[in-house]
């Protein structure tokens, strides 16, 4: 068949491949292509592989590709793209290697972005650097899409952010994706100072991706106030929040107790139809639980249709946070009836619920169930929760035994939990054991010495109390200052003990002093009334 004739037949079949209505029609078109001797046509096979990419039919895409003896670069790019889109990254890299070794075709600017993405998804920096070398040798220089993919790949490898920055600095052309890739990468690594510097210096208009990267980064770094400031800044800039930005800021609302903003997000999400997204509902449930509105969390949970393991685990943790062990255990039973497999977070919530009400036997049962029924290997957090369950219930010897048999070294939280429980139980032996470890792990933490001093005081061992007070005075002790949060006009204000730099500090103190005076007068008045009937406070 002459070349011109082949091209005409290909052009005849190409639009048909975009108009088929079902698989039967697809098979008929494919059969016609074969009967016309065009099964080796890279042009038509590329069209068919692209359709397989959209439907996720990677098996059929593979058969189509493998049947072509000499694929051209467009067909290679199509199958690599299909594998990358469908998370078959090993196959994408395999085809790329085949292209380099068994083909006369060379990678082009459409090849490298998907190969870089697959290298990043595989977590192979070595492979990524090799492909980078191929780009320098074979690929197009100064192509923004390819360089963006390269920046994104390096930012996904821990410790290679400088390589990403070098690529970024050498780019002759940058677009908003270039900036967002670098900002998102630094934010993911918790390097918020670098992320903020890039964000502030962006010449392009900031997109929802730019704002969300900063919000998510600050939330992940525990800078909840900054996350909420950026969320408000995004709105002031006229950028409407999407599902991802809502999920990113809601944990900050939960940690700071910003109920008003959380409720606004709930209303906004409902108006935009985002409550159909399981992730948004999960974040709202956690926010309501941590802000003290467990009833609203339960209501939202009950209204959800597509509950996943995170939904169930979040609700169980919410009940635990409010000391409702019965609610947590009932929810877990419902979860099992719904055939949703629990994970490690689920059992953390259950153990925490048991801890709050002293159900140590039930806690042991859940701990064993996690290992034996679900083959979930306990982490240090699970051992910490179990030890806390036993210690709070007065089973200190059992708790100590767990610390001796756990497969990892107990951390300061575990020993601190034991030390704290010893005061209630007046158990000096376990207290001294815990303190020995805490002195090694947290030698400058004043709170541990104060706890032990209180235990000595409860036992009437005043010489030891005096000795510990001298150690505290003479040592280089650090004490975490107390703080409190209050939300006023949708702004969360934090007050830290000893910090007088807050705006209107003098006026606040004056109001508090006036309040204390009134309180004292009320106490005197009440005492006088009670004294008249023979009762004195």
Banded pLDDT at 537 (limits 50, 70, 90): very low
What is the per-residue pLDDT across 218-239, written as a single tens digit (0 to 9) for each? Answer: 999 999 999 999 999 999 999 9
122 within 8 A of 90, measured Cβ to Cβ? yes
Q: How does the average pLDDT of the chain come out, rounded?
A: 85
Q: Tell me the mean pLDDT in the region 9-24.
A: 67
pLDDT at 321: 93
3-state secondary structure of 484: strand
Share of the chain above pLDDT 70, in %: 84
pLDDT of residue 471: 80
Residue 328 CB contacts under 8 Å (≥ 6 apart), including other chains: 316, 317, 319, 320, 349, 350, 353
DSSP of 485-499, one letter per residue? EEEETTEEEEEETT-
How is the chain split into domains, by residue range?
500-537
Give the number of other CB atoms < 10 A from CB of residue 501. Answer: 6
Q: How far apart are CA 392 and CA 399, in angstroms?
A: 10
What tens digit of pLDDT does each residue of 127-148 get?
Answer: 999 999 999 888 666 689 999 9
Q: What is the mean pLDDT of residues 499-519?
A: 64
Is residue 297 scored above 50 in pLDDT? yes
301-316: pLDDT as tens digits: 999 988 999 999 999 9
* 484 strand-pairing partners: 495
**Other C-beta atoms lying within 10 Å of the C-beta of residue 379:** 13
pLDDT tens-place string over residues 470-491: 887 776 665 555 555 555 555 5
Q: In this predicted model, what pLDDT tens digit does every residue of 162-197 receive, in sequence order?
A: 999 999 999 988 899 999 999 999 999 999 999 999
Q: Confidence band (pLDDT; 50, 70, 90) for 211?
A: very high
- Which pLDDT does position 104 carry in this prediction? 79
pLDDT for residue 2: 43
**344-357 vs 380-392: helix crossing angle, rounded to 10:** 10
């Amino acid at each position: 068949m002459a070349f011109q004739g082949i091209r005409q037949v290909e052009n005849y079949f190409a639009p048909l491949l975009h108009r088929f209505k079902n698989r039967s029609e697809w098979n008929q078109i494919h059969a016609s292509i074969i009967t016309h001797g065009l099964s080796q046509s890279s042009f038509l096979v590329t069209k068919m592989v692209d359709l397989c990419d959209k439907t996720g039919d990677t098996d059929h895409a593979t058969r189509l590709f493998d049947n072509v003896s000499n694929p051209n670069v467009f067909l290679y790019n199509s199958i690599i793209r299909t594998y990358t889109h469908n998370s078959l990254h090993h196959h994408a890299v395999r085809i790329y290697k085949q292209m380099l070794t068994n083909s006369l075709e060379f990678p082009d600017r459409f090849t490298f972005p998907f190969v870089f993405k697959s290298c990043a998804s595989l977590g192979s920096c070595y492979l990524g650097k090799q492909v980078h070398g191929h780009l320098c040798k074979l690929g197009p220089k100064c192509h923004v899409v390819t360089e963006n993919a390269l920046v994104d790949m390096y930012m996904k490898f821990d410790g290679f952010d400088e390589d990403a920055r070098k690529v970024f600095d050498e780019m002759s052309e940058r677009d908003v994706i270039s900036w967002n890739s670098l900002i998102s990468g630094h934010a993911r690594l918790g390097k918020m100072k670098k992320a903020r510097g890039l964000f502030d210096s962006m010449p392009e208009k900031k997109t929802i991706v730019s704002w969300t990267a900063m919000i998510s980064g600050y939330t992940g770094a525990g800078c909840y106030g900054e996350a909420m400031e950026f969320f408000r800044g995004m709105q002031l800039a006229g950028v409407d929040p999407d599902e991802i930005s809502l999920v990113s800021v809601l944990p900050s609302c939960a940690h700071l107790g910003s109920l008003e903003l959380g409720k606004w997000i709930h209303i906004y999400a409902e108006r935009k139809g985002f409550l159909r997204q399981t992730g948004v509902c999960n974040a709202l449930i956690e926010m309501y639980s941590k802000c003290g509105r467990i009833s609203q969390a339960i209501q939202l949970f009950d209204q959800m249709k597509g509950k996943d393991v995170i939904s169930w685990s979040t609700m169980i943790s919410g009940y635990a946070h409010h000391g409702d062990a019965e609610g947590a255990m009932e929810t877990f039973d419902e979860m099992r009836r719904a055939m949703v497999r629990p994970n490690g977070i689920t059992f953390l919530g259950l153990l925490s619920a048991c801890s709050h009400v002293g159900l140590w036997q039930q806690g042991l049962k859940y701990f064993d169930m996690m290992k034996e029924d679900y083959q979930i290997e306990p982490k240090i957090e699970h051992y910490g929760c179990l030890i806390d369950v036993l210690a709070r219930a007065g089973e200190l010897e059992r708790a100590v035994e767990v610390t001796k048999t756990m497969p990892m070294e107990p951390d300061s939280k575990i020993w601190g939990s034991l030390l704290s429980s010893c005061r209630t139980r007046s158990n000096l032996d376990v207290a001294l054991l815990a303190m020995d470890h805490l002195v090694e792990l947290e030698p400058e933490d004043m709170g541990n010495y104060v706890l032990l001093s209180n235990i000595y005081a409860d036992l009437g061992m005043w010489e030891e109390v005096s000795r510990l007070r001298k150690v505290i005075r003479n040592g280089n002790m650090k004490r975490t200052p107390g703080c409190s949060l209050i939300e006023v006009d949708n702004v969360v204000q934090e007050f830290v003990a000893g910090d007088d730099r807050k705006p209107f500090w003098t006026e606040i103190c004056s109001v508090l002093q006036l309040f204390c005076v009134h309180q004292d007068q009320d106490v005197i008045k009440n005492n006088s009334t009670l004294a008249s009937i023979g009762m004195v406070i």
